[in-house]
Structure 1
Amino acid sequence: MLKKTFTALVLGSALFAGQAMAADYTIDKKGQHAFVNFKISHLGYSWLWGRFNDFDGTFSFDAEQPEASKVEVTLQTASVDSNHAERDKHLRSEDFLNVSEHPTATFKSTSVRSTGEGTADITGDLTLNGVTKPVVITAKFIGEGKDPWGGYRAGFEGTTTLQLKDFDIKMDLGPASQSVDLIISVEGVRQ
């Protein structure tokens, strides 16, 4: 009887050891250790930079099995901030983000593919301006570990390029301004 119990424990332990043990994290918006930035060419003459100030999200991450990771983010489109009040008003209008009709944008991952040591492609559905399209975020693991307040954190950065027309953005500022680069940096607190 003891031998059967021991065998069952060993087999059970081996079975569970092979499963992904992803930890769940909440993006640290409160401590402002997360950013969703963008840049777009202004007529081909310079870069216009901006960010979204209000967003939140979660991710699951297992360094041993990054393919088991997941990401979900919701941002408030009216929080767009390009450091210019009149331009921000225009960005909130129907010409661009149409925030009165679409107050949120969301990203929900559908797969994660490891591309090297600490890098991955995160594929997911982005809903922006009422349009949902698959996008790929090129992600890089920054680091993880204990923080000074007794928590545990993990951080990532990622980039992707969006074609404005894919998300029914009507304003046309010429051929140099047809796409926008998103630059994302997040630090999450393990739950």
Structure 2
Amino acid sequence: MRYATLALAGLTLGQILLPQAVFSKTPELSQAAGTYNITGTSQIRFWVDQVGGGSINGRFTKFSGRFRIDGRSIGASSISFTLYPQSVATAEGRMEDFLRSSAVFHADAYPTVTFRSTAVRQTGDDTAVVDGMLTARGITHREQFSVRLQGLKGNAIAFNVTGNVYRSRYRMDVGTPIYLNVVKFDMDIRGVRQ
């Protein structure tokens, strides 16, 4: 949850990472401008490394969100995102129950984790950094995510978003130091323009 950057950014002059045959040229910012709903085909993956090797790997299967790309200024773009800890999925049911429990997400008392952007900064032709406020377990901290544009076709857009979030900031640091304090996120975000 550290680099929660749905990087609404980098839509000018970028390299498109989807098949080049689909995209004859780099999209102009004005082509990408608009408000997009995040679709269920997005993938929200995370992992926590373990001392000595191995990790806890998981994903969230229920989430929602919306982002707006400003056609004149990336810095005026915004994103809001909600994920539902009850939907956490791993390869093991016992681990899922543990992650939903009061030791980690406390999903019964805090059914959502939210992110609201406060700033978007373009860092390259197809990249950006998104700063914002992340709230989990009723605790809010500023976090940052890196975003890379993967493609734009018609009303559909795709980004890869990465970031690190420190578990201890949200009172989820059970198991440290055996399990590291950092949760790493790798998210493929798909949006459809309204």
TM norm structure 2: 0.79
Please give the alpha-carbon distance, in whole angstroms, between the structure 2 residues aligned to 1:37 and 1:63: 29
Question: Who is 1:189 aligned against?
Answer: 192
**Corresponding residue SS for 1:95:** coil
Superposed CA offset, 1:107-151 (max 9, x none): 1101101111111110011111211111010111111112xxxxx
Q: Structure 1 residue runs of 4+, over 3 Å off?
A: none
Alpha-carbon shift at residue 90 of structure 1 (Å): 0.5
**Corresponding residue SS for 1:116:** coil
Question: Who is 2:5 aligned against?
Answer: none
Question: Who is 1:86 aligned against?
Answer: 94
Alpha-carbon shift at residue 164 of structure 1 (Å): 0.8
Match runs of 1:104-123 below 5 Å = 104-123=112-131
Question: Who is 1:23 aligned against?
Answer: 34
The equivalent position to 1:179 in structure 2, one of 168, 179, 182, is: 182
Please give the alpha-carbon distance, in whole angstroms, between the structure 1 residues aligned to 2:91 and 2:181: 21
Alpha-carbon shift at residue 174 of structure 1 (Å): 1.3
Q: Does residue 1:101 correspond to 2:105, yes or no? A: no
Superposed CA offset, 1:65-120 (max 9, x none): 32222111111111011121001000111111111111100011011011111111
Please give the alpha-carbon distance, in whole angstroms, between the structure 2 residues aligned to 1:66 and 1:57: 18
**Corresponding residue SS for 2:123:** strand
Count of aligned positions: 164
What amino acid maps onto 2:166 in structure 1? Q
Q: Does residue 1:136 correspond to 2:147, yes or no? A: no
Structure 1: give runs of 5+ residues left out of the alignment. Answer: 1-18, 147-151
Alpha-carbon shift at residue 49 of structure 1 (Å): 1.3
Please give the alpha-carbon distance, in whole angstroms, between the structure 1 residues aligned to 2:120 and 2:52: 34
Question: With CA pairs under 8 Å and 6+ residues apart, which has the higher RCO, 1 or 2?
Answer: 2
Question: Who is 1:59 aligned against?
Answer: 67
Question: Who is 1:162 aligned against?
Answer: 165
Question: Who is 2:47 aligned against?
Answer: 39
Could you say what the CA RMSD is over the residues aligned between the two structures, in angstroms? 1.8
Greater strand content: 1
Alpha-carbon shift at residue 36 of structure 1 (Å): 1.1
Which is higher, the Rg of structure 1 or of structure 2? 1
Greater helix content: 1
TM norm structure 1: 0.80
Question: Who is 1:4 aligned against?
Answer: none
Please give the alpha-carbon distance, in whole angstroms, between the structure 1 residues aligned to 2:52 and 2:192: 39
**Corresponding residue SS for 1:166:** helix
Please give the alpha-carbon distance, in whole angstroms, between the structure 2 residues aligned to 1:63 and 1:139: 17
